[in-house]
């Protein structure tokens, strides 16, 4: 596990995981771009979450709703009110704003006097249409789940669903965070993976426990260590404005224990408020009682970037002096990224043992062409074989295939395991099948 965030930040840039946005213009605060390896890893995380919801559980369907919605959605949800705001003090001299619990009387930047606390709403404003006036004011969504509530009837009726059922969604959300910090941990633009479970009010407590356990299991199965994960029951005064109960799943980052996922019992807050504000009854018809009621919602809500950061922090190992016996004492340290094979951005690397023997190079290239249509693969022939192994260990690539002199006679290759560094010889004709099994 990594011991400082700075190491992760520089690693992410050096190896093409995450770059500062608009870097050539001096950077754009709190915005980040995901590089070639970052985007693969992010896609893997989203796919794993989607499969967890859609394949591993019954009665959950997906949705992809718009980022822009009627501003009335945010009035009804309570996000335009005081409940979705940070309490801040503003410096009277430099006008910078700080969270109340992070400062005292003086500005930490310029020493100026601070104002009384004021509440600043986090909704990100925008104008829709050609004229910038009040009637065209809209908001970028602050949570994806509102798109789910306003489509509750559409999904229920089109899919002929019966309670309990879930609707899940992955997508961008935006918050005008006043104090974005800790790299991609708190940003103004981020991606959420949210699932809303609609159930009878009397079964909400049981489902809350069920979903909390399921979500914790997901992180553990994907390599997060038990000792770095904990649940935190959030007291009433600190809960989100819609939550009857809230448990935060926290990960031990190098900058402390922080929330990666929230499990919320939202009661009927959203469906009843949208019914009230829209005039459309979003109730569910109980066939036995012959009446409509508002289901309760158990929500699981996590951020793609926070998962990404937690998996990176967990997997990052720095090995002083390197792992191999032949290591020269001049080499300071090696990085081994022990990502779960399903999260790893590159699954397999292909190397010719030497680059000056044409037959070996040609065979390695042929194997690479075969593998790259099945997995994210890389081909590398530069530098010593040891250096090439280290380069792919560093990006968490679980397997490296090497073509050597024996390969030409025996039609086989070696497969090296990232973590054990053990190598086995495999017939080329069986390679694809074996890699598929190993990566499954």
Figure out which of the listed residues 301, 402, 407, 414 binds ligand GAP, where binding follows CB under 6 A. 301
Min separation Cβ 279 and ligand GAP, Å: 24
# binding residues, ligand GAP (CB under 6 A): 19
Window 162 to 181, contacts with ligand GAP (CB under 6 A): 175, 177
264's enclosing H/E stretch is strand 256-267
Token pair 């250096």 is found at 387
187 or 265: whose CB is closer to ligand GAP?
Answer: 187
Stretch that binds ligand GAP, among 66-74, 185-193, 381-389, 402-410 (CB under 6 A): 185-193
Strand pairing category for 296-303 and 189-199: antiparallel
How big, in percent rounded to 5, are the helix, strand and coil portions of the chain? 35, 30, 35
Half-sphere exposure for 125 (CA within 13 Å, toward CB): 10
Question: Of 51-59, 186-194, 339-347, 431-439, which segment contacts ligand GAP by CB under 6 A?
Answer: 186-194
How far is residue 214's CA from residue 210's CA, in Å, rounded to a whole number?
6
Q: Work out which of 52, 250, 270, 305 binds ligand GAP, going by CB under 6 A.
A: 305
Residue 96's CB is within 10 A of a number of other CB atoms, namely 18
CB of 13 to ligand GAP, least distance (A): 19
Measured from the CB atom, the residue of 195 and 339 that comes closer to ligand GAP is 195
Options 97-105, 223-231, 295-303, 400-408: segment touching ligand GAP (CB under 6 A): 295-303
**DSSP category for residue 93:** T
The residue (of 194 and 393) whose beta carbon lies closer to ligand GAP is: 194
- Please state, as a whole number, how many other Cβ atoms lie within 10 Å of the Cβ of residue 67: 15
Query: What whole-number distance in Å separates Cα of residue 414 and Cα of residue 405?
Result: 11
Cβ at position 413, least distance to ligand GAP in Å: 41
**Orientation angle between helical segments 5-14 and 304-315, nearest 10 degrees:** 100
Burial code (b: 16+ CB inside 10 Å, e: under 16) for 17-45 equals bbebeeeeeeeeebebebbebbebbbebb
CB of 304 to ligand GAP, least distance (A): 8
> Which stretch of DSSP H or E encloses residue 50?
helix 36-54
Residue at shortest CB range from ligand GAP: 303
* Binding of ligand GAP by 186 (CB under 6 A): yes
Among 37, 114, 247, 260, binds ligand GAP (CB under 6 A): 260
The reply on whether position 407 binds ligand GAP by CB under 6 A is no
Residue pair 407/363 in contact (Cβ under 8 Å)? The answer is yes
From CA 80, how far away is CA 401, in angstroms rounded?
Answer: 55
Nearest to 245 by CA among 212, 271, 283: 212
Cross-strand pairs, 350: 379, 401
Element spanning 364, H or E: helix 358-372
Q: Which residue of 306, 341, 347, 391 would you call a contact of ligand GAP, by CB under 6 A?
A: 306
Run of H or E residues at 336 = strand 333-337
Q: How far is the CB of 63 from ligand GAP (least distance, A)?
A: 14
Nearer to ligand GAP, 39 or 240 (CB): 240
Residue 192 in contact with ligand GAP, rule: CB under 6 A:
yes
**Contact flag: residue 231 with ligand GAP (CB under 6 A):** no
Relative to beta strand 85-90, strand 165-174 is unpaired
Shortest reach from residue 193's CB to ligand GAP, in Å: 8
Q: How far is the CB of 119 from ligand GAP (least distance, A)?
A: 16
β-partners of residue 319 are: 334
Judged by CB under 6 A, the residue of 65, 302, 314, 407 near ligand GAP is: 302
261 in contact with ligand GAP (CB under 6 A): yes
Binding mask 262-291 for ligand GAP (x = CB under 6 A): x-----------------------------
End-to-end CA distance of the chain: 25
Choose between 50 and 379: whose C-beta lies nearer to ligand GAP: 50
Using CB under 6 A, pick the residue from 12, 145, 312, 337 that binds ligand GAP: 145
Give residues in contact with ligand GAP (CB under 6 A). 143, 145, 175, 177, 186-187, 190, 192, 194, 259-262, 299, 301-303, 305-306
């Amino acid at each position: 596990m990594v011991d400082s965030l700075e190491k992760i930040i520089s690693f992410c840039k050096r190896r093409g995981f995450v770059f500062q946005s608009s870097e050539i213009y001096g950077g754009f605060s709190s915005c980040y771009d995901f590089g070639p390896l970052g985007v693969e890893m992010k896609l893997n995380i989203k796919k794993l979450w989607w499969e967890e919801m859609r394949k591993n559980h019954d009665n959950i369907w997906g949705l992809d709703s718009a980022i822009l919605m009627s501003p009335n959605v945010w009035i009804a949800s309570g996000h335009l009110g005081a409940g979705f705001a940070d309490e801040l003090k503003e410096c009277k001299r430099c006008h910078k704003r700080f969270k109340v619990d992070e400062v005292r009387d003086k500005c930490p930047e310029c020493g100026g006097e601070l104002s009384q606390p004021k509440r600043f709403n986090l909704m990100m404003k925008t104008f829709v249409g050609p004229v910038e006036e009040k009637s065209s004011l809209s908001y970028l969504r602050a949570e994806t789940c509102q798109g789910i509530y306003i489509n509750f009837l559409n999904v229920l009726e089109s899919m002929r669903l019966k309670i309990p059922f879930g609707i899940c969604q992955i997508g961008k959300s935006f918050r005008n965070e006043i104090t974005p910090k800790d790299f991609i941990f708190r940003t103004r633009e981020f991606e959420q993976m949210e699932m809303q479970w609609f159930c009878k009010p009397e079964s909400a407590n049981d489902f809350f426990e069920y979903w909390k356990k399921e979500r914790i299991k997901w992180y553990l199965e994907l390599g997060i260590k038990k000792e770095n994960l904990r649940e935190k029951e959030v007291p009433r005064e600190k809960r989100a404005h819609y939550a009857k109960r809230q448990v935060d799943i926290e990960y031990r980052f190098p900058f402390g224990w922080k929330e990666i996922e929230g499990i919320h019992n939202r009661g009927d807050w959203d469906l009843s408020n949208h019914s009230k504000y829209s005039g459309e009854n979003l109730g569910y018809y109980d066939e036995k009682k012959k009446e409509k009621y508002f289901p309760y919602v158990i929500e699981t809500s996590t951020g793609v970037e926070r998962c990404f950061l937690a998996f990176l922090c967990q997997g990052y190992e720095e090995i002083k002096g390197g792992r191999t016996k032949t290591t020269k004492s001049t080499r300071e340290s090696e990085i081994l990224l022990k990502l779960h094979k399903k999260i790893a951005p590159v699954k397999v690397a292909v190397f010719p043992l030497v680059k000056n023997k044409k037959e070996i190079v040609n065979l390695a290239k042929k194997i690479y062409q075969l593998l790259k249509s099945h997995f994210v693969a890389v081909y590398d022939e530069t530098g010593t074989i040891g250096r090439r192994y280290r380069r792919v260990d560093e990006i968490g690539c679980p397997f490296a295939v090497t073509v050597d002199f024996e390969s030409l006679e025996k039609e086989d290759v070696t497969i090296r395991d990232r973590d054990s560094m053990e190598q086995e010889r495999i017939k080329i004709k069986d390679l694809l099948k074996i890699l598929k099994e190993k990566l499954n």
